[in-house]
A and B are shown apart, each in its own frame.
Chain A
Amino acid sequence: MTGKTDTEKTSVLITGLGVISAAGAGMAMTLESFRRGERNAGAVSLFTTSLECPVFEVRQIPSSFIVEKSRTLSLALCAVDEALSSASLGDLTRLRVGVSIGTTVASQLNDLEFYRSYRQSGDAPMEVVDRYLKGNIAEFIARRISARGPALTVVNACSSGTDAIGMAFSWLKNGLCDIAVAGGADELSLVPLCGFSSLGIVNQSLCSPFDRDRRGLNLGEGAGILILETGASAKLRGKSSELRILGYGASADAYHLTAPRPDGAGLEASLDKALAEAGIKPEEICFVNAHGTGTTDNDLVEGKVLGRMFGPDLKVLSTKGFTGHTLGAAGGLEAAFTAAGLSEGWIPSSPGFRNKDEEIPLTPVREETMIKGRYALSTSLAFGGNNAALVLGKL
């Protein structure tokens, strides 16, 4: 079992990080934005909509990463490039590299104009279909970076990014590849905006995760990518890293298509599994980057479980106040932010939190907070009752 007593053979290192979101393009810019407490939300500008709510759009994707009419792929390429660079990886053709990426929007053939055309005329442009067939995100990234190991796209709704990292973790532990490009990517799209609005969980103002007066989520977009690597592979190419993935846990609620299980048993089970795989106790966790969407139900269930397991003094935050809910990208971005928090020794204030909810036995951090400790958690809860957790370590 991998864990804090890991060996070079079984350890899974994080040797690179790449992020892009409304908080910034690149980790350095993002951390500066976090320090300043910036919340770069605004009205939808990417498409025409009658829905009025703040969203967290990426202001500019560097032109070298633009894939025509495939914003999710563009975001992913940008984050992958930063992650590979920070891992000092160039030519991958002679390495055993896997690609495991979560998404939601990019997995669906949901082009409104294509469908409108089909409805009206019985015909529609096949370029849209071609783009879709070439755009399975894991297959696309694998082709683009010449990764020849396993490639699989995870479509587990809002836990996709976390589950993708967990899947890559299994690949590496079992020798399917030596290096994995893992995380999530998603673009802001009209379809989920309409869908989440219809569910009544989109906030008309900025989200406030875990706050007493929270009124829902803000949608966002972005990509978060981790380069995971076996200790042996990193050693072979002279790369070292203090950051590790130590444990992954996932559990189903088996309860409801959209609502979390009220007792949080599924989330608790996923946390238990992740901690057990990491070989650490709850009291060794120094902070949790929570799913924290800002919806009534999610934050209540998640807050209760985290409070129950880790106690009221747990340092907890939700970075969705900086990025919005980026759906399939969320787990990738938040794992990257968690890794950065461990590495940097500080976490930002949990944006939007003002008033404690007496039903939630936790108080998110209200200011930039120094971190002393070696282990942290990133959690995801999803449509369909998926719960997933990652334990990251700094050894």
Chain B
Amino acid sequence: MTVELRHFVEGVFLVYAALLPIVNPLGAAPVFLAMTRYADDATRAVLARKITINSFVLLLGSVFIGTYVLEFFGLSIPVVQIGGGLVVGSVAWDLLRGADVSKKADAFDLHDPEAVATEAFYPLTLPLTVGPGSISVAITLGANHPQTVRSFVTAASSALLGVVLICVTVYLCYRYAQRLSSFLGGAGTAVVVRLSAFILLCIGVQIIWNGADALAGITGPPHVRQP
């Protein structure tokens, strides 16, 4: 029993420590602020809650059924990294140039709950909070299935708790991102937003490269083979 408790605690820490640097709610909070810059405080609170629930479902789904979904569509993880990295890079590019955001904010009807819900999933949840990097890590975490029922229950419950902790962190960061921005002021927030947009762009490029590297490793570099 104590062994299982230890496995459980270890599992929770593994999931939390593996996902937190990639989900990175602290880094994503300024981007969240920038994408909702015309929304009022109440809408932001609603969005934060919706994003948290979406992220929870998406991460948990990736951990438990991600492998089967990939198999069903005949996909591999590096390919998901390349496709998702392109999407992250594109969102960051738009954010960095600042052209698309204002246009989107005009079209973004804050009194329409359906529009808010749609916006909360894409782009706020899918490439921004839970990006392809997080999805691929979550799929990898769920990929090694334990043999016995007891160890499965331990692993599943620790994954559940770890994902819950991640989502609580996301909620806290997004909910109180406003205070950070009022502390920084208008000019400071603009600088932080541009910087984090640039970092997001680089994260997208990194994820694309990780996928491309894994794919190139399958065939082996041609310049090694040639001699």
Are chains A and B native binding partners rather than an unrelated pairing?
no
Q: Give B contacts to A, CB under 8 Å.
A: none
Q: Give A contacts to B, CB under 8 Å.
A: none
